[in-house]
Amino acid sequence: MPASEQLRWQRIRERGRWRSILLAGTLGWGGVFSVLFAGLELWTGVASSFWPAALNALPLGLLAGTIYGWSRWGYALLAKVREHHYVDPDEEPKRIKMTVKTQAGARPGRAILPPAMLGILGGGQLGRMFAVAAKTMGYRVTVLDPDPHAPAADFADVHLCQNYNDPAALAELVRTCAAVTTEFENVSAESMRWLAEQGIPVSPSGDCVAIAQDRIAEKTFIRDAGLATAPFLAVSTAADLDGDLSAYLPGIIKTARLGYDGKGQIRVKTAEEARYALGEFKHQPCVLEKMLPLKCEVSAIVTRTAAGEIASFPVSENEHPTGILDVSIVPARVKPEIAEQAQAMAQQLAAALDYVGVLAVELFILDDDSLVINEIAPRPHNSGHFTLDATLTSQFEQQVRAMCNLYPGKPDLVSPVVMVNLLGDVWGEDGSEPNWEVLMTAPNAKLHLYGKREARPGRKMGHFNVLNDTADHALQQARAIQETL
Ligand code: AIR
């Protein structure tokens, strides 16, 4: 929609001048046409003086003026409706933002509306919480996951129990789903590219997932986007460790692929230890990343739509005492300008990736208050589970909204909150349940269990959120509850 039309439309809405517009369409343009017709009569000699000619031409002029005047506003209305359908990819994001402010709800046409079937690659806890959100909104869900007991299957309409690259299962997604997303970066990016080639909307794109799957590609992309990362060395073969490594030591050797929850990481102090760690990882591609003096770790989670609208959740402060997330504290106890900078970096990265969906960006805050991006996840994130109870829209609803081309929901924080992970370690060795009593009787604590059959040490089995008047009070209470489990 041209900017002039847009402004006109905005003015009309702001002033509420509907009646005067219709009147102007009738009388204003009616007058103009009457004068035109009278002039025509004089010019052709049908009439000899102006006023009788004008009076004569008035009924026809009013009719023509009404048609013309009203059709102009009709055109504006049409353009308005069309704007809902199409988003010009060349339009600057600023203008798109303006329309976000002035409109509510979904874009009909291109928006995917309930009860459409939504597909998800992966059926773990993130898929489960996605399915709950989608089903709550009235969508249907198909989960592709090889595990017959995949947590998401409890809530899915259809569970395709196959590998992520199974051709028949992928063809079924194309046949039945209106859009497809993922919950696990370890799914095949190739499968996602193939789905997109079949014409089905896939978000995030296979290309974004491929970048997030590979630490070398990820860190290189972040650096090339002008954002800070820890100094790193791509280690594709042992020979890459032969040079001077002082810029990266002490550091951490991390496998380039298939690492999550602290898996695939070894801390190293010397070049020898780095070589040993590479051997431990069977010489697969790795990065050697310098350990930095950290004040704390935070994550900034953003939702970005195909039209470029971005919503940022409040930044969470994360503690990972054993390499696996233990608690997330929101709002993060950092200076507001640092939290804002973290959000801005996440937004910049999402835009650079032309990302569609929920993007989680983990950052380090260094001793000198500078920020560096640690890693990204192309999906909702464990550190965003506080949004299930403490923000107006959850990260899983945002995932649904982004893939369905709806506007992002409001991400505002309703209450300070602390999220505590429940790892398999809390379950008894015989599989017995933790003691839920105190947790379940606290009115401001919310338990979320993932329905996993086997509780292994370090395995994420569930989490709980504690909402309180301050983050510190929520943390105190959360710790006290943790003790009782
Ligand atoms: N996940 C994905 N990336 C990191 C994590 N934690 C979630 C996804 C995936 C599940 O963890 O939901 O499906 C796998 O969990 P597990 O316990 O089976 O390894």
- Answer whether residue 51 is part of any domain: yes
Of the candidates 384, 381, 404, 301, the residue with the CA atom closest to the CA atom of residue 347? 301
Residue 379 and residue 444 in one domain: yes
Q: Which atom of ligand 1 is nearest to the CA of 127?
A: 12
For the record, the structure tokens of 390 come out as 């403490």
Q: Which atom of ligand 1 is nearest to the CA of 184?
A: 2
CA–centroid distance, residue 448 to ligand 1 (Å):
15
Q: Compute the 3-state secondary structure of the chain and give helix, strand, coil in percent, each to the nearest 5.
A: 45, 20, 35
CA–centroid distance, residue 126 to ligand 1 (Å):
7
User: Which amino acid is located at 422 in the chain?
Assistant: L
CA–centroid distance, residue 1 to ligand 1 (Å):
43
Predicted local confidence at residue 67, as pLDDT: 84
Tell me the per-residue pLDDT of 229-240, one tens digit each, with 9 for 90 and over.
999 999 988 899
Residue 286 and residue 308 in one domain: no
CA–centroid distance, residue 121 to ligand 1 (Å):
12
Concatenate the DSSP letters of all residues of 403-443 into one string. Answer: HTTPPPPP--BSS-EEEEEEEGGGS-TT-PPP--HHHHH-T
Residue 460 and residue 433 in one domain: yes
Predicted local confidence at residue 261, as pLDDT: 64
* pLDDT-derived band at 22, boundaries 50, 70, 90: low
Of the three residues 54, 78, 102, the one that is the final residue of a domain is: 78
Is 286:235 a contact under the CB 8 Å cutoff?
Answer: yes
Predicted local confidence at residue 348, as pLDDT: 98
What does the CA dihedral 50, 53, 55, 58 come to, rounded to 10 degrees? -120
Concatenate the DSSP letters of all residues of 400-411 into one string. Answer: HHHHTTPPPPP-
Interstrand relation of 140-144 and 158-160 (parallel, antiparallel or unpaired): parallel
Predicted local confidence at residue 30, as pLDDT: 81
Residue 185 and residue 246 in one domain: no
Ligand 1 binding pocket includes 127 (Cβ within 6 Å): yes
| Cα 127 from Cα 87, distance rounded (Å) | 29
CA–centroid distance, residue 251 to ligand 1 (Å):
26
- Answer whether residue 99 is part of any domain: no
How many structural domains comprise the chain? Answer: 4
Is 124:154 a contact under the CB 8 Å cutoff?
Answer: no
CA–centroid distance, residue 184 to ligand 1 (Å):
6
Residue 303 and residue 283 in one domain: no
Ligand 1 binding pocket includes 159 (Cβ within 6 Å): no
Predicted local confidence at residue 24, as pLDDT: 67
Ligand 1 binding pocket includes 126 (Cβ within 6 Å): yes
Predicted local confidence at residue 21, as pLDDT: 61
Q: Which atom of ligand 1 is nearest to the CA of 128?
A: 12
Mark residue 199 as left, alpha or beta (left: phi above 0; alpha: psi -120 to 50; beta: remaining).
left
| Cα 479 from Cα 468, distance rounded (Å) | 13
Of the candidates 380, 372, 324, the residue with the CA atom closest to the CA atom of residue 345? 372
CA–centroid distance, residue 427 to ligand 1 (Å):
18
Ramachandran angles phi, psi of 455, nearest 5°: -95, 100
Residue 458 and residue 313 in one domain: yes
- Answer whether residue 469 is part of any domain: yes
Ligand 1 binding pocket includes 122 (Cβ within 6 Å): yes
Tell me the per-residue pLDDT of 183-200, one tens digit each, with 9 for 90 and over.
998 888 999 999 999 999
Kindly report the CATH number assigned to the domain that includes residue 340.
3.30.470.20
List the residue whose alpha carbon is closest to atom 13 of ligand 1. 124
Residue 278 and residue 183 in one domain: no
Predicted local confidence at residue 304, as pLDDT: 97
Residue 337 and residue 475 in one domain: yes
Exposed, middle or buried, 418 (CB in 10 Å: 0-12/13-18/19+)?
buried
Predicted local confidence at residue 28, as pLDDT: 79
- Answer whether residue 68 is part of any domain: yes
Of the three residues 290, 311, 334, the one that is the final residue of a domain is: 290
Ligand 1 binding pocket includes 184 (Cβ within 6 Å): yes
Q: Which atom of ligand 1 is nearest to the CA of 126?
A: 12
Cα four-point dihedral sign 187, 193, 194, 195: positive
Residue 309 and residue 423 in one domain: yes
The number of C-alpha atoms within 13 Å of 228 and in the hemisphere containing its C-beta is 14
**At CB < 8 A and 24+ separation, what contacts does 142-145 make?**
142/117, 142/118, 142/172, 142/173, 142/176, 142/177, 143/119, 144/119, 144/120, 144/169, 144/170, 144/173, 145/121
Of 60-74, 169-183, 446-460, where does mean pLDDT reach its minimum?
A: 60-74
Q: Which atom of ligand 1 is nearest to the CA of 124?
A: 13
Q: Which of 42-51, 52-61, 145-154, 249-258 has the highest mean pLDDT?
A: 145-154
Residue 328 and residue 416 in one domain: yes
Tell me the per-residue pLDDT of 308-345, one tens digit each, with 9 for 90 and over.
999 999 999 999 998 899 999 999 999 999 999 999 99
List the residue whose alpha carbon is closest to atom 1 of ligand 1. 184
Domain span holding position 366: 294-484
Kindly report the CATH number assigned to the domain that includes residue 240.
3.30.1490.20
Model pTM?
0.78
CA–centroid distance, residue 226 to ligand 1 (Å):
30
Ligand 1 binding pocket includes 261 (Cβ within 6 Å): yes
Pocket test of ligand 1: the residue of 120, 125, 213, 375 to mutate, having most ligand atoms within 8 Å of its CB, is 125
Q: Which atom of ligand 1 is nearest to the CA of 460?
A: 17
The number of C-alpha atoms within 13 Å of 194 and in the hemisphere containing its C-beta is 17
Residue 456 and residue 328 in one domain: yes
Is 286:278 a contact under the CB 8 Å cutoff?
Answer: yes
CA–centroid distance, residue 162 to ligand 1 (Å):
17
CA–centroid distance, residue 461 to ligand 1 (Å):
10
CA–centroid distance, residue 16 to ligand 1 (Å):
52
The number of C-alpha atoms within 13 Å of 421 and in the hemisphere containing its C-beta is 25
CA–centroid distance, residue 164 to ligand 1 (Å):
14
Residue 284 and residue 302 in one domain: no
Kindly report the CATH number assigned to the domain that includes residue 178.
3.40.50.20
For the record, the structure tokens of 356 come out as 């569609």
- Answer whether residue 42 is part of any domain: yes
The helix or strand, by DSSP H or E, that contains position 207, with its residue range, turns out to be: helix 206-213
Pocket test of ligand 1: the residue of 159, 183, 459 to mutate, having most ligand atoms within 8 Å of its CB, is 183
List the residue whose alpha carbon is closest to atom 11 of ligand 1. 124
- Answer whether residue 264 is part of any domain: yes
Q: Kindly report the number of other CB atoms within 10 A of residue 52's CB atom.
A: 12
Of the candidates 56, 84, 68, 76, the residue with the CA atom closest to the CA atom of residue 28? 68
| Cα 389 from Cα 478, distance rounded (Å) | 15
Predicted local confidence at residue 410, as pLDDT: 97
List the residue whose alpha carbon is closest to atom 14 of ligand 1. 124
> In 284-409, where do the E strands start and end?
286-290, 294-304, 310-312, 316-319, 327-330, 357-366, 371-377
| Cα 320 from Cα 5, distance rounded (Å) | 52
CA–centroid distance, residue 380 to ligand 1 (Å):
11
Of the candidates 146, 110, 185, 190, the residue with the CA atom closest to the CA atom of residue 403? 110
Tell me the per-residue pLDDT of 78-129, one tens digit each, with 9 for 90 and over.
554 444 333 343 443 332 333 333 344 444 448 999 999 999 999 999 999 9
Predicted local confidence at residue 291, as pLDDT: 95
For the record, the structure tokens of 157 come out as 């309409």
Tell me the per-residue pLDDT of 285-306, one tens digit each, with 9 for 90 and over.
999 999 999 999 999 999 999 9
Q: 436 CB contacts (<8 Å, ≥6 apart)? A: 447, 485
Mark residue 273 as left, alpha or beta (left: phi above 0; alpha: psi -120 to 50; beta: remaining).
alpha
Ligand 1 binding pocket includes 5 (Cβ within 6 Å): no
User: Which amino acid is located at 191 in the chain?
Assistant: S
Predicted local confidence at residue 73, as pLDDT: 72
- Answer whether residue 189 is part of any domain: yes
- Answer whether residue 45 is part of any domain: yes
List the residue whose alpha carbon is closest to atom 10 of ligand 1. 124
